[in-house]
Amino acid sequence: MEIHIENLCKSYGGSPVLKNVSFTAGPGVTCIMAPSGSGKTTLLRILLGLERPDSGTVGLPEKCRWSAVFQEDRLLEGLDAMGNLRFVLGSALDEAAALALLAELGLEDAVGKPAREFSGGMKRRLALARALLAPFDVLALDEPFTGLDRDNRERAWRCVREHAAGKPVLLVSHELPPEGAYDLVRL
């Protein structure tokens, strides 16, 4: 599966945000880097169908299922980790797989606590778990490691590489991910 972006442009109020962005992303991680305010989130929003480009083309396979981690964690603060996963995944939730992934992400001790009691890094890892557990063909990650210390950042990176192996992963960031194989696109 490949995603083809050709000459994508987007402006807000006459100010260009994306100018003739072109790249192809296949299986594996494509890290899209640029400073803050350079259109990374706008690019993901266009790919996810949340915004329309002014011009250019996005070539996606038909019936492409996306999963995403947005800049905001978008958790239900009154629910615990499993409650947040169950709310999004419904009957698709495999509780054993969810508990295993939460443990991989270092969240095994937080399973019964409401999300409002989580630190920012814990919330980020729960948002990542939710995206990795959803059925997907392509994974979009918007600054997924924000608020994570080095050890948790590396742990989260390992989970992304393992659980999304063989699928396209679009990771937007203003920092390089921890070491590992990825393609780099600069906006």
Q: Return mean pLDDT, the chain.
A: 92
pLDDT in the model for residue 7: 97
Number of helices and strands in the chain (H, E): 5, 8
The pLDDT confidence band at residue 133, using thresholds 50, 70 and 90, is very high
* Torsion from C-alpha of 109, 77, 42, 5, nearest 10 degrees: 50
pLDDT in the model for residue 48: 94
Give the number of C-alpha atoms closer than 13 A to the C-alpha of residue 6, restricted to the C-beta side. 5
With a cut of 90, say whether residue 119 has pLDDT above it: yes
**What is the layout of strands, in order, in the sheet containing 3-12?**
15-25, 3-12, 55-59
Backbone angles phi, psi at 121, to 5 degrees: -65, -35
With a cut of 80, say whether residue 105 has pLDDT above it: yes
CATH assignment of the domain containing 40: 3.40.50.300
The pLDDT confidence band at residue 6, using thresholds 50, 70 and 90, is very high
Is there a contact between 80 and 69 (Cβ–Cβ < 8 Å)? no
In this prediction, residues 110-121 reach a mean pLDDT of 92
Neighbours of 108 (CB within 10 A): 12
Q: CA-CA distance, 168 to 6, in Å (whole number)?
A: 17
- Domain total in the chain: 1
Q: Which range of residues forms the domain containing residue 73?
A: 3-186
In this prediction, residues 132-141 reach a mean pLDDT of 96
The pLDDT confidence band at residue 111, using thresholds 50, 70 and 90, is confident
The pLDDT confidence band at residue 184, using thresholds 50, 70 and 90, is confident
Lowest mean pLDDT among 29-33, 136-140, 183-187: 183-187
More confident residue, 36 or 142: 142
Nearest to 137 by CA among 98, 102, 101, 166: 166
Name the residue with tokens 């989260």.
156
